[in-house]
Amino acid sequence: MHEEVVRARGHENVSAEHASTFEVTSDDWLTPAGDCILAVEADRVPADFAPEFVDACRDAEATITAIVEVETADGETLRERIEGRGHPELTFEGDRSHVGRTSDYVDDRTILVGADAAAEDFDRDVVAALADGGDVTFTLRVE
C-alpha cells in the first residue's frame, strides 16, 4: 500500500453538488460555480506525489481510496470515504488540483477513475463543515 496526505481547508462557497467529480484544489479561492470543489489551499498537488505512488495508481486493477476528513467548529472530525480505481493513463502531473471521477476520463488532474461517489454524494454534515472553512486532511491510498 502507498499513501499520500494533503492538508487543505474548507471554504464558504463549498456546495458539493457535482454529480460526477470531486476536487481538492491548491487555489486559495472558490466561486459558487466550483460545485465539485471540497477544499482549497491544498499544501500538495498530484505533481508532488512519490513516483512509487504514481506507478501503483497506473495499474487498472489498483483500488484507490480517497478519504476526506474535516474538523467541525466544535472539534469533531467527520469523514467521507470514496473508492475508485487506477488507470494506465494517470500522469499525476497536475500542479493545481486533485480530481476524482466517476467516469473513466483522465487528464493531468485526475487522481482516480470509477469513483463510487462524487461531491453530491457527500454527507451534508461533512459539506456544512467544509463550508464553515474546517481544516481538511485528504488522504489517498492505493492498493
pLDDT at position 38, please?
Answer: 98
pLDDT per residue, tens digit, the chain (143 aa), is: 999 999 999 999 999 999 999 999 999 999 999 999 999 999 999 999 999 999 999 999 999 999 999 999 999 999 999 999 999 999 999 999 999 999 999 999 999 999 999 999 999 999 999 999 999 999 999 99
Q: How far apart are CA 63 and CA 104, in angstroms?
A: 14
pLDDT at position 65, please?
Answer: 98
In 58-139, which residue ranges form alpha helices assigned H by DSSP? 124-131
Q: Report all structural domains of the chain as residue ranges with CATH numbers, in order of start.
A: 2-142 (2.60.120.630)
Query: For every residue of 7-49, which 3-state class applies, written as one string?
Result: EEECCCCCCCCCCCEEEEECCCCCCCCCCCEEEECCCCCHHHC
Q: How far apart are CA 78 and CA 123, in angstroms?
A: 9
pLDDT at position 45, please?
Answer: 98
Exposed/middle/buried for 61, CB within 10 Å: 0-12, 13-18, 19+?
exposed
pLDDT at position 29, please?
Answer: 95
Contact criterion met (CB below 8 Å) for 62 and 86: yes
Question: HSE of 139 in the Cβ direction (CA atoms, 13 Å)?
Answer: 11
pLDDT at position 74, please?
Answer: 94
pLDDT at position 139, please?
Answer: 98
Residue 45: all three cell numbers together: 498537488
pLDDT at position 20, please?
Answer: 98
Task: Quote the DSSP letter at residue 95.
Answer: S
Q: How far apart are CA 39 and CA 56, in angstroms?
A: 25
pLDDT at position 72, please?
Answer: 95
pLDDT at position 10, please?
Answer: 98
